[in-house]
Structure 1
Amino acid sequence: MMNEIAPLLLCFGDSNTWGFDPRGGRYPAALCWPQQLAQRLDRPLQLEGKPGRTLWFARPQSGLEPGFEDWQRCLRARPADLVLALGINDLAAGATPQQCQQALERYLQVWQALAPSSALTLIAPAPLGRLTTGWQTLFAGQQQASQELGELWLTTAREWHIPCYQTDNLFCPGADGLHWTEEFHAQLARELASMHKPPQ
């Protein structure tokens, strides 16, 4: 008798999925939300986090490159569950919040075309905090725009009938104003796990 293989969890995102530490470097994998979520759900993890990844818009000289081709590659493997956490870097590449939302729609359209049986959860981009000098230059005054993304993501999620995690009003990024604290990684994993578990 063959052993049953647990369904695959795919986490697709940018540097906050990769595990960028706001103090510099990279968190140990065990501290990052994808690994913690996989552990809580008792699922094998395919981690697809890449610093500088955008949904659609590019600014190669600053390391900002779209993840659309990688997204399609991942979808063709038809993982059981997907978590998509992208969008904030598109602002740094010059997109408006509305253009970010349109890019998200393209990701959802190709999900429906390539892997409609894969369950998808969105993580709405968290708003920017007080950015340190290098990130101030990259995002060039997009703090206000970053606060608009959450509601746009929720609107899109409702239209597509998929779950969406949005940060609450108490959210505070790490010391660089962009990347997440250890505490938030743990909180995010807990709340995503509760969204994935069926009601008792």
Structure 2
Amino acid sequence: MKTVLCYGDSLTWGFNAEGGRHPFEDRWPNVLQAALDHSVRVIAEGLNGRTTAYDEYNAGADRNGARILPTIVMTHTPLDLVIFLLGTNDMKPWIHGNPVAAKQGMQSLVETVRSHDYGWPTPQILIVAPPVVSHTENVEFKEMFSGGEASSKHLAPLYAALAEEMGCCFFDASTVATTTPLDGVHLDAKNTRKIGEALAPIVCAMLETKETFRG
């Protein structure tokens, strides 16, 4: 059986801007799973507020994606593919607010996966740029992601260049999904499903399991 780890933030967790959490079947990792047969297992590891590699001290959980990644990977080893969908929270001014910093954080995640001593073959890596931050009248989120509309637009080209440099695959989620104006950051059910649907053929090609794709 092939195993895929989806490592992300609230977009992977399934945060619903209307309140609560999207139903299980609408979260993109589960949409991806539904597009594959039982020869591929998809594991969703999403945490609200997770960054690529930076600390967030006003949270009850460790949101530094780089620090917790080795534990997550070792928990689920052996893995065939790791999908990273992170970077939005790096755009918070008090985190970093700089897309170049997000790129450097993403690079550290890739290096961690490739340098860790698993005792198993190193998994492939797919870097996914999150949908760009959009305009919102939600006062809290507007301030929380101040400057995010402009800075988040640079994530996709920076991630694409990083993927080429490091021999990873890349996908820009903004090509299929847009964030909701309710908060400018999260996705409605339709758009989170679009990400899972778009990633299915890419994952199949990477795992060389095209016959398992149900799309």
TM above 0.5, yes or no, is yes
Any gaps of 5 or more consecutive residues in structure 2?
none
Residues 23-64 of structure 1 deviation map (CA, whole Å, 9 limit, x = unaligned)? 111001111100110121222232210001111122322678
Instruction: Please state if 1:8 is matched with 2:3.
Output: yes
Q: Does 1:20 align with 2:26?
A: no
Q: Pick one of 35, 42, 45 that aligns with 2:42.
A: 45
TM-score (norm 1): 0.88
* 8 Å contact from structure 1 (residues 57, 95) kept in 2: no
Distance (whole Å) between structure 2 residues aligned to residue 109 and residue 169 of structure 1: 26
Question: For residues 156 and 47 of structure 1, what CA distance do their matches in structure 2 show?
Answer: 24
What are the equivalent positions in structure 2 for 1:1-200 lying under 5 Å apart? 6-42=1-37, 43-61=40-58, 65-76=63-74, 77-92=77-92, 93-114=95-116, 117-131=122-136, 132-168=138-174, 171-174=177-180, 175-198=182-205
Give percent identity, aligned residues only: 24
- Post-superposition shift, 1:141? 2.3
Q: Kindly provide the CA deviation profile for residues 171-200 of structure 1, in whole angstroms up to 9, marking residues without a partner as x.
A: 421232110121222221111111122368
**Partner secondary structure for residue 147 of structure 1:** helix
Q: Which amino acid aligns with 2:9?
A: D
Matched residue type, 2:159? W
Q: CA deviation at 1:170?
A: 7.0
Unaligned 5+ segments in structure 1 are 1-5
- TM-score calculated relative to the size of structure 2: 0.83
